[in-house]
Homo-oligomer: A and B are copies of this chain.
Amino acid sequence: MEAYQRIVLASRPVAAPTLDTFRLESGAMPRPEAGQLLVRTQYLSLDPYMRGRMSSAAPYAQPVAVGDTMEGEAIAEVMQSRSDEFREGDIVRTMVGWRSHAAINAKDARHVRNRSVPLTVYLGVLGMPGFAGYVGLKVIGQPKPGETLAVSAATGPVGSLVGQLAKRAGARTIGIAGGASKCHYLVSCLDFDAAADRHAEDFARVLQDLSPDGIDVYFDNAGGPVWQAVLPLLNRYARVPVCGLIAFYNGVPQTGRDWLGDTMLTVLRRSLLIRGFLYSEFVSDYYDEFLEEVGPLVANGEIRYREQMVEGLEAAPSAFVGMLEGHNFGKVIVKVA
C-alpha cells in the first residue's frame, strides 16, 4: 500500500519556530469518499500568516492543534475523482495543508484553467498574497498620481505587486527590503523608483532622503523598526494598509521605549488612516476584478515577480523558519510532487 507524507506541528513555538517545531510523518494513502477527490500536491505555498496558526491564540482562525497537519494552500493534481465537477488530471487550488496527498471535499477545490501563466503564480502574485496586495492598495491605500508610496517586504509576493501597481497608478514607489541584493532587484527588475535596505545602519536616514515629499501611502507588511522609520515621514492624510507584521509574529520585541504614544500622536496630528485587513474580507467584491485586471499583466510580463522554489515536502520546515527571518528572496514555494 502506497504511503503519503505530511508535516505536523510537533509543538507550539514560544518565539521563533525551529526545525523541532515540525515533524514529518507518513501514513496510508487516503481514499476519497463520495463527493471527494484524491489529490497530489504539486506546489505548496509557504506564507508568514502560518506562524499565527501555530499559536494557541491563533489570530484569525482556529489554531493548528499539536499533532495536526500544518495548514497551507497548494496547487494539486486530481488523481481520483468521486465528484462530477472534477476529472482525473485536473489541476486545482486547495487548502490541502503540508502534505503530499489528501482526500478533500470537491467543494474545497477550485479549478485552475488558465494556463497562460505558470501554475505557481496562483500561490503568489495571482493568488492570495497578490490579491491582498491588490485590494489593500485599491480599497485602503488608494495612491494618486504624484504621491509617494512605500512598501515593506517589497520583494515578496504582496509587496512586489503593490509596488508595481502603485507605479502604474502614477505614484512614486519606494521598496523596503532586507539586503542590498533585494534592493537592487527592486529598482532594476521591478521598476521601483527607489529602494531602502532595512538592514542598513542608517536605514531611517536613507528612507528620509528617498522621501523628499514625504510618504502618502505606507503598505505595511512588516511592523517593528521599519514602522518607526516610516512614521515621521508620513504626510497628512497618509493611508496605511496593514497587511502583515512579520516583525511581531515571533513575539513583540520590547525595546524599553513605548512607541504607541508617538504613533497615536502622529495619527492625530497628521490625520492618518491605519486599517488592518485580511484578503478574505474583499474576495466577493474584488476577486474577479483582480484576476481580470492583473492576470493579463502577469501573462504578458508587465507585472514581474520572483519565486524561491524549494524541493520536497521535507524542506518545508527549514524554508518556513528562514522566511520568518527574511532569508527568502521572493515568494516561497515548495515543489512537492
User: What residues make up the interface of A, taking CB atoms closer than 8 Å to B?
Assistant: 52, 59-60, 220, 223-224, 227, 242-245, 248, 252-278, 281
Contact = CB atoms under 8 A, between A and B. Distances in A.
A51 to B, nearest CB: 12
A271 B254 CA distance: 24
A205 B60 CA distance: 24
Nearest to A273: B275
Given A60-B269, A256-B256, A268-B276, 16 more contacts: A223-B261, A227-B260, A242-B268, A245-B268, A252-B261, A253-B258, A253-B261, A254-B257, A257-B258, A258-B259, A259-B259, A267-B275, A267-B276, A273-B273, A273-B274, A274-B275
18 contacts: A59-B265, A242-B264, A243-B268, A245-B261, A245-B265, A245-B268, A252-B262, A252-B265, A254-B258, A256-B258, A258-B260, A259-B259, A266-B276, A267-B274, A268-B277, A271-B276, A273-B274, A273-B275
Contacts of A278: 271
In the complex, which of the residues A242, A266, A276 has the most CB atoms of chain B within 10 Å of its own CB atom? A276
B261 A263 contact: no
Given A260-B258, A274-B275, A265 B281 contact: no
A276 B281 contact: no
Contacts of A263: 260, 263
A223 B269 CA distance: 13
B265 A269 contact: no
Contacts of A277: 268, 271
Given A258-B260, A259-B258, A268 B59 contact: yes
